[in-house]
Amino acid sequence: MPIIDLWAKEGYLSTPDGNSIYFWGFAKSETGPAQLPGPYIIAKQGETITVNLHNMLSEPVSVSFPGQPEVLADGQPVAPRYSNGQLLSFVNHAESGSTVTYTFTPTHPGTFMYESGTTPHKQVPMGLYGGLLVRPTDYNPDINEYKTVYGFGTNTEYDREYLLITGEIDPSLHQAVREERPYHVSKYLPRYWTLNGRCAPDTMFLDNVNYLPHQPYGSMVMGQPGEKILMRYIGAGVDNHPLHPHGSHARVVAMDGRLLRNGSIDLSFKRFTVLVGAGQTYDLIYQWDGLGYTPENTIPTTLPDKRNMGIGDAGWTMWSGSPYLGRKGDIPVGVVSYNEFGEYYFMLHSHEELQITNWGEFPGGMMTWVAIYSSLSPDVGMLK
């Protein structure tokens, strides 16, 4: 039976404009840093999982698991908790310095989140949330037909997978909590928008870079032509976010951890933009084939739009300088290219313009890339 330990702690986030923001997050260990989002939890359908929450913050904290039935806390069904007649927590919480143990058995595969169930209007925006992935009972990553999101025969096979968790940061909320001052939710005004806890361009860096100790997860999506790339979206913030990958429409195969299928009828659909609401999850499969592209002819009939590979007048680009996938060529004088091996880049971003800024400055916020390489290690895009 998997046993997960989460420590609720405080820390400081970094933003690309040099700001440092106090936050609350879950850590993997007692001595490890609080992180945003919390550690990914990967479970298996039908297998009981135990989560120990150790609260190192100064007020009660809990963890709720939306979509999971019959959750127990210290062996009893979870229930709301009250303080002086006021609702304090939607589920059993741990007092400061104490531990509460949750157990549950996922009945459905899919993408879910976990988050604080205690004063969630405050604690979730402060950073107490994370992703929960449930594998189907027949999941086998070594057999293509069984490397699926929802099980054999569900048309949800994939080659690589990525988890993208949306969020926002209102620095005034974080400052008020740090100084133990009151904060009015009606004044909520985000200035930063995050994918996996980072703002662009930090979203494009690899996982576990040492200069972002509290934000370990990158958001760069990578694959090869024709591969099925699974994108798991989780809306952990308060606002809705219209996410859109360039280069190809993605096929939405599930919402809120439920496969889009009615009996034998496949109800999946392709969509230009998906509006990721607060608390919602989506599973999408993205494929870039490139019209006319073949391994023998590494130039597609329709080239990727070079505008997608540069950002405004920033003086840098992701363009390789060559129309051929896997090759590099000349780039304009004065332009810095971050292209590695002649790969194509397609922007993935929020379609709400303010959300792709850092406190109003473009580029930033909820933005990353889908990078298509001519060859790529099979170890890339594996969530473990």
DSSP state of 35: B
Q: Is the dihedral of CA 351, 352, 353, 358 positive or negative?
A: negative
Under-50 pLDDT residues of the chain: none
DSSP states of 330-344 as a string? ---TT-EE--SSS-E
* The predicted structure's pLDDT at residue 324: 87
Q: What three-state secondary structure class fits 308?
A: helix
* The predicted structure's pLDDT at residue 295: 76
**pLDDT tens-place string over residues 144-176:** 999 999 999 999 999 999 999 999 999 999 999
**For the chain, how many helices (H) and strands (E)?**
2, 27
* The predicted structure's pLDDT at residue 334: 81
Tokens 């806890």, residue located:
197
* The predicted structure's pLDDT at residue 310: 66
- The answer to whether the peptide bond before residue 332 is cis (omega within 30 degrees of 0) is no
- The answer to whether the peptide bond before residue 80 is cis (omega within 30 degrees of 0) is no
* The predicted structure's pLDDT at residue 38: 98
**pLDDT tens-place string over residues 252-311:** 999 999 999 999 999 999 998 999 999 999 999 999 987 777 777 777 767 777 666 765
Which pair of tokens denotes residue 363?
A: 């580029």
Which pair of tokens denotes residue 314?
A: 């920033």
* The predicted structure's pLDDT at residue 384: 85
pTM: predicted TM-score of the whole model, two decimal places? 0.95
* The predicted structure's pLDDT at residue 1: 73
* The predicted structure's pLDDT at residue 281: 98
Which pair of tokens denotes residue 71?
A: 């959750």
Which neighbouring-strand residues pair with 367?
Answer: 349
Distance CA 68, CA 65 (A): 6
Query: For residue 173, what is the enclosing H or E element?
Result: helix 171-178
